Amino acid sequence: MTIDSAKFSGLLQPHYNDALKYSRALCATWSPDDAEDVLQQSFLLALENFGSLRDHSKFRSWFFKIITTTFYSSIRKHFWKKFLPTDAERSGVHSMPEIFDRSVQSENRIVLDKALSGISAKERSALLLFELGNFSIEEITAIQGEKSISAVKSRLSRARAKLRKIIEKEENSLSRMGESSWELNGDLENETLKLITEIRPER
Amino acid sequence: MKHSNSSQRSDQNGKLNKDNNRTLEHHFNQLKQENYDSTFPDIESWIYKTSVNLHTNKKLAQTNERTLHKMKNFFFGSKLRLVYTIVAFAVIIGACNMPVTQTESAGKMITLVIAKDNGDFQSKMNELPWIKNAQVTANENTNNGEVQMLYRVILPNATKDEVIAYANELEKLGNVITIRITPMDYDIKRPLYSAALHDFFSIDVDATGKNDEELKNEIESKLREQGVDMKFRFTTGPDGRREIRLDNEGQIDVNKEPKSFEMNIEDNNGKEHIRFKTQKADPKQFEGKSDPEIREMVRKDLGKNDLKDSDIIIERNGKDVKVKVDLEEKEVK
């Protein structure tokens, strides 16, 4: 059976932007290449299984679920990735075009990424599905494959608390750096960004 | 007063929470402002190309992925299964190293007692052709006032039938009071894997550049080292291919040989591969079986259902059944 790519793209377009934002934020401190690998694998899985999606009105939650499970498995795959061909090579397809920004990120984004990477994958996914995907708790429960709504509720609340704590800590450390005797010449914003780039942890 | 303090604290906490929520909101708002819509046309065209490729490669990709996935998931899918796998490997290794007791034969001993005044018994015994291969000890013994000679004849390599025949020959020399055959068995402990390999050996020979005589000598010498006495004849045909024939076939009973063996000969720089294999069989397994039943057993045992009836030669001598399989397999690369 051939894949109806036109129909797939048509259903994808309204949710494309949210899906990409969700995907990028899930892989918070990962490199753009690694984040694109997750997205590419999600697209491939979605294309392969598109025929099994009967109710097209559920495309959005179906596609977000694929991104979520691909992300979970890519965390586990990290070790195997060294020995195996990439998914694209294995499927005999061309690599996806570059999408994610490779330029220096803003200070706020760096702090948020660091905070997101400080919480567990499931907590991160629940929070981002809620904030970026605008999914209800029930929908998140289904996407994450959980049985209990209350488990997702408490996961969300835990994630928020942890995220706040980390952001606060990160911002404090940044302001302390600002108070130190380092000399910043010229444009303050540019110099700060340069400094952040230098101290930003490599993934 | 206490109430007012607590209410003040709660107000402060509320204010802090609001500030914190605002911070989170602020960060998420920035995230929400990111826009990837401009990249959609590129992705759309990639999706189109990919869907065509996927359709072509779907079966191949699925097979590879599923096999790898199944293996990976089986061993590493759950921590519990990983533990089971490690335990299973440990049990297998443990089982292979577990000592098992095997009974091995060091030969057979004929014990005979004769009167001391036995005339020329000893000189007659020394003339027997097989006595050269035996170890003989003689002791003087007194029994009920009569002086006797006790001979112990140890035969390390003789079969049971041969020993019975030798005992009969000794008895015929005369004046024998008692004669007894004793098997000299001993128990040996060895790991299971070693026990499995003990009754089978394999020799590999590179025949490239060797003439027929050199090859024959090398193989016979290697087999002799393992206690197998077989004579071979090699002939090289006009096409350069070598034939192997067992020379003393009529005199050899494979079941009497100490071990089963496999011989692999690489010839003509690896272009030709000759394999010769002997397999010990339980002599009782053919008892009461008809010829078709035996042929079926042989085909099943060798895993060769295409063996013709004429390839399986069955010779019957009373209750004894001798089965010979004429199987010529040449692998030419």
Residue A99 has pLDDT above 90, yes or no: no
Is A97 close to B50, i.e. CB distance below 8 A? no
- Residue A110 burial (CB count, 10 A): 21
Structural domains counted in chain A: 1
Burial of B204 (0-12, 13-18, 19+ CB in 10 A): exposed
Residue A68 has pLDDT above 90, yes or no: yes
Domain that holds residue A67: 5-197
pLDDT of residue A155: 93
pLDDT of residue A130: 93
pLDDT of residue B331: 43
CA pair distance A60, B292, nearest whole angstrom: 70
Minimum distance, in Å, between the CA of residue B39 and any CA atom of chain A: 7
Any idea what the CATH number is for the domain that residue A108 is in? 1.20.140.160
Residue A22 has pLDDT above 80, yes or no: yes
pLDDT band at A80 (very low <50, low <70, confident <90, very high): low
Mutant choice from B31, B52, B75 vs A, greatest count of A C-beta within 10 A: B31
**Side-chain half-sphere CA neighbours of B321 within 13 A:** 18
Instruction: Calculate the CA B257 to chain-centre distance.
Output: 17
Is B61 close to A90, i.e. CB distance below 8 A? yes
Strand partners, B324: B313
Minimum distance, in Å, between the CA of residue A130 and any CA atom of chain B: 11
Q: pTM of the predicted model, to two decimals?
A: 0.44
Tell which wins on pLDDT, B182 or B262.
Answer: B182
Q: Which of A5, A17, A90 has the CB atom closest to B48's CB atom?
A: A5
The answer for A 64-103 residues in CB contact with B (under 8 A) is: 80, 84, 90-94, 96-97, 99
- Mean pLDDT, rounded, for B251-271: 63
Q: CA nearest A78: which of A121, A49, A112?
A: A121
* A133 in any annotated domain: yes
Label the pairing between strands B260-267 and B200-206: parallel
Q: What is the CA radius of gyration of chain B?
A: 39
* A202 in any annotated domain: no
Task: Extract the runs of DSSP E, i.e. beta strands, from chain B.
Answer: 99-115, 135-143, 146-155, 176-191, 200-206, 232-236, 242-246, 260-267, 272-277, 312-317, 320-325, 330-332
Q: Which of A8, A17, A47 has the CB atom closest to B36's CB atom?
A: A17
Percent of chain B with pLDDT over 90: 1
pLDDT of residue B13: 47
pLDDT band at A65 (very low <50, low <70, confident <90, very high): very high
pLDDT of residue B25: 83
Q: What average pLDDT does chain B have?
A: 73
**Chain A residues closer than 8 Å to B31 by CB:** 21, 25, 109, 112, 131-132
* A35 in any annotated domain: yes
* A180 in any annotated domain: yes
Angle between helices A107-117 and B2-33 (to 10 degrees): 110
Residue B133 has pLDDT above 90, yes or no: no
- 3-class secondary-structure state, position B297: helix
Is A97 close to B65, i.e. CB distance below 8 A? no
CA pair distance A103, B194, nearest whole angstrom: 65
Lowest mean pLDDT among A34-43, A191-200, B302-311: A191-200
Is A96 close to B40, i.e. CB distance below 8 A? no
Minimum distance, in Å, between the CA of residue A75 and any CA atom of chain B: 14
* A203 in any annotated domain: no
Among B53-57, B91-95, B124-128, the range with the most confident prediction by mean pLDDT is B124-128
* A52 in any annotated domain: yes
**Chain B residues closer than 8 Å to A133 by CB:** none
Residue A20 has pLDDT above 80, yes or no: yes
pLDDT band at A19 (very low <50, low <70, confident <90, very high): very high
Instruction: Calculate the CA B209 to chain-centre distance.
Output: 30
CA pair distance B107, A194, nearest whole angstrom: 89
Q: Which of A5, A8, A17 has the CB atom closest to B37's CB atom?
A: A17
- 3-class secondary-structure state, position B59: helix
pLDDT of residue B284: 65
